[in-house]
Amino acid sequence: MSGDRRLPPSFVTFGMRVAAPTVRPPPGRGKERGAGGRLRGLGRRPGLAALVFALVSGLITHADHLFKYPLYLTDEGIYMERVWSLIRETKLTPYTYDYDHAPGGWITIAGWVLPLPRQFETFGTSINTGRALMLVVHVACVFLLFEVTRRLSGSVLAASIAAFLFNFSPLAVYFQRQVLLDNLMVFWVLLSMFILLHRESHIWKALGAGLAFGMALITKENAIFFAPAFLYLLHRGIRGSTTRRFVRTLWPFAMAAPLGAYIMFSVLKSELLPSRLSFSLSHPPTGHVSLLYTLWWQLNRNQGTLLTRGSYLYSSWLPKDSYLLLCGVAAMGTCLYLGMRDRERNHGFLVAGLLAFGYAFYLLRGSVVLDFYVIPMVPLFAMNIGMVADRILRGSHRFVRVGLPVLVGLALLLAPATGYLFTYNDQGRRQVADQYHLNLTVMQREQVAWIRHHIPPGARLITDEDIWTELHDVRPYYPYAHSHWNASSDPTIRDKLFARNWQNIDYVVMSNKMRQAIVGNNGDGRESWILNAIDNHSTVVWQTGQGDIRLQIYQIQK
């Protein structure tokens, strides 16, 4: 962050350069600015140094304990299971693909896994292999976030603050290490924004930006909530340009191309429309899955608001990093205010504010929100905070301008209350924060090792998705190991293999909180026969735990 140098904001230019907002020179910097090209050349160095620092620190914070913390998540297992199916079976999923997610994310992951020398086992486990990609994606995102923020604000300081928060926030480290579609979506969104903000933007860049945004949409459909910010940025960029007609036409085309492929896939499989064109939520259509029905169902899901007690906001996000979230909300409001007040001069603030607001609106609108849905907010809040901090410090003395952010950064890193680098343990003693200290995944690896040593490959197992690929891709294979989700809902598995009868289960391999998930998914009694097996006919043959994490293996007694 030292030696911050204000570079001219690069506003989108499709064939013409839009005048950058006038920047009032900070006191004491007159000589620096007046020195012309020679000093401008030197001025690139601090920006480069800050970028390198951001990249290296991002690499370290995310690589350290990458394969140990956090615990392998069910969703990570689901995506790796689908990658496995793509590579081994040329199918989008080993079970019935019900359009719950667009497949762009795991197709991307498959593109990573396929050329690796040992494919899924290159980094030990399949999820580790996916996490290695997440590390690469994170470092790429650091670069993109740094550049996007720098271009929107014209400030290396703003970019450095954004990258710092993006790298060190416990919220960021926790979720960005995991194999989640949201991380890939963020990459595509930032890439699209980066291309749009390029100094020499033109038709090809508009095509590239549109394509990247289209990829974001088929990685995770929620990216649609960034569309207003993109449209505004595009609209502003092509004003008065002689290529405006081409850009206005080809950007949406490029964006729609990946979406079109997704829709065409459903058409080719005769799965675009539901059976008998029924969109009834109370009586779901039977016969075949449908893209439009799933979308309709997802749009109508409701789980209270994020602001109600017990939501992930209070139970997970704020405890992990309340500083980022609270400052982020304030910064987002400030950016929107500054941007709306003067769109010409504060164009970058408006774009940053719109990006964050679009996704915040999605989270707050009252649909189902999962723990990791916060992922896109992290870089956006970081960006907004960086830009507002830069604006606040703009008029201050150079010493304050550089020194104050450094002090705040050090405080965040060193104060145990923040959880950035240190934390308090149960005894109230200071220790290194969980994300750089705990080894949780070892328990899941031990669980798999126990299965291999004690359970015959032909056994019928009810498991969670976190170990699915391990059991299907590493010898000895366990072809009859299925997650409780699929065992209770996929007709082939439910009716043919298990026949909804507890006596057809040999073992239940419990992941952490799997019982809660089974109970939560049992509203219509679909998992009762599994609960019956666990509660009334089983013996615990293996278990382990750390803190409040518990893993077990039940043998079903027949």
Partner 1 sequence: MMPLLYACLVIVSVVLTLLSAHVLYMMLYTWGRQGDGGAAAEPARFRDPRLSFTVMLPARHEEDVIQTTIDRVVHASYPRELLQVLVICSADDVGTIGKAREKIAALRKEGVTNVETVVFDDGPINKPHGLNSALPQADRDVVTIFDAEDDIHPEIFSLVNTVMLDERVKVVQAGVQLMNYRSTWYSALNVLEYFFWFRSRLYYHARYGAVPLGGNTVFFDRDLLMRLGGWDDRNLTEDADIGLRLSSMGERIRVIYDDRYVTKEETPPTTAQFIRQRTRWTQGFMQTLQKGTWKRMPTRAQRWLSFCILAFPQAQVLLGVYLVFSIATTLAVKAPVLVAMVSYLPVLLLLAHFLTAAVGLYEFTESHGLQASPRLVAQMAIFWFPYQIVLAYAGLRAVWRQLLSRHDWEKTQHVGAHRIPVTEADANVR
Neighbouring-strand partners of residue 430: 424
Residue 117: Cβ within 10 Å count: 6
> Minimal distance in Å, beta carbon 67 to partner 1?
33
Site string for partner 1, 202-241 (x = CB under 8 A): xxx------------------------------------x
Q: Does 265 interact with partner 1 (rule: CB under 8 A)? A: yes
89: Cβ–Cβ under 8 A, 6 or more apart, which residues? none
Among 45, 118, 239, 245, binds partner 1 (CB under 8 A): 245
Scanning 20-73, the segments in alpha helix (DSSP H) are 30-34, 37-63
Residues 86-115 that bind partner 1 (CB under 8 A): 90
Among 260, 366, 403, 457, binds partner 1 (CB under 8 A): 260
Q: Does 246 interact with partner 1 (rule: CB under 8 A)? A: yes
Measured from the CB atom, the residue of 203 and 330 that comes closer to partner 1 is 203
Half-sphere exposure of 221 (CA within 13 A, CB side): 15
Phi, psi at 367, each rounded to 5°: -95, -170
Residue type at 322 in one-letter notation: S
Query: d(Cα 419, Cα 431) in Å, to the nearest integer?
Result: 10
The encoded tokens of residue 169 equal 């926030």
Among 257, 273, 330, 432, binds partner 1 (CB under 8 A): 257
Mapped onto helix, strand or coil, the DSSP state of residue 337 is helix
Query: d(Cα 18, Cα 3) in Å, to the nearest integer?
Result: 27
Query: d(Cα 204, Cα 191) in Å, to the nearest integer?
Result: 14
Q: Using an 8 Å Cβ cutoff, are 293 and 98 in contact?
A: no
Supply the DSSP symbol for 2: T
Measured from the CB atom, the residue of 200 and 344 that comes closer to partner 1 is 200
Q: Does 365 interact with partner 1 (rule: CB under 8 A)? A: no
Q: Does 253 interact with partner 1 (rule: CB under 8 A)? A: yes
Q: Which residues of 489-528 are buried (b: 16+ CB within 10 A; e: fewer)?
A: bbeebbeebbeeebebbbbbbbbbebbebbeeeeeeebbe
Total residues belonging to the chain: 558
Among 57, 96, 243, 298, binds partner 1 (CB under 8 A): 243
Among the residue ranges 77-85, 263-271, 407-415, 547-555, the one whose residues contact partner 1 (CB under 8 A): 263-271
Among 59, 107, 140, 250, binds partner 1 (CB under 8 A): 250
> Minimal distance in Å, beta carbon 49 to partner 1?
29
Site string for partner 1, 144-183 (x = CB under 8 A): ----------------------------------------
Measured from the CB atom, the residue of 90 and 427 that comes closer to partner 1 is 90
DSSP structure string for 376-400: THHHHHHHHHHHHHHHHHTTS-HHH
Q: Does 200 interact with partner 1 (rule: CB under 8 A)? A: yes
The overall longest dimension of the chain from CA atoms, in Å, is: 86
> Minimal distance in Å, beta carbon 27 to partner 1?
37
Measured from the CB atom, the residue of 246 and 436 that comes closer to partner 1 is 246
436: Cβ–Cβ under 8 A, 6 or more apart, which residues? 61, 64, 65, 69, 421
Among 2, 3, 15, 489, binds partner 1 (CB under 8 A): 15
Number of chain residues interacting with partner 1 (CB under 8 A):
22
Supply the DSSP symbol for 224: G
Among the residue ranges 208-216, 256-264, 287-295, 344-352, the one whose residues contact partner 1 (CB under 8 A): 256-264
Q: Does 59 interact with partner 1 (rule: CB under 8 A)? A: no
Q: Does 16 interact with partner 1 (rule: CB under 8 A)? A: yes
Closest Cα to residue 216, out of 285, 137, 159, 301? 137
Among 268, 282, 428, 456, binds partner 1 (CB under 8 A): 268
Site string for partner 1, 444-483 (x = CB under 8 A): ----------------------------------------
Question: Which residues here bind partner 1, judged by CB under 8 A?
Answer: 15-16, 90, 200, 202-204, 241-243, 245-246, 249-250, 253, 257, 260-261, 264-265, 268-269
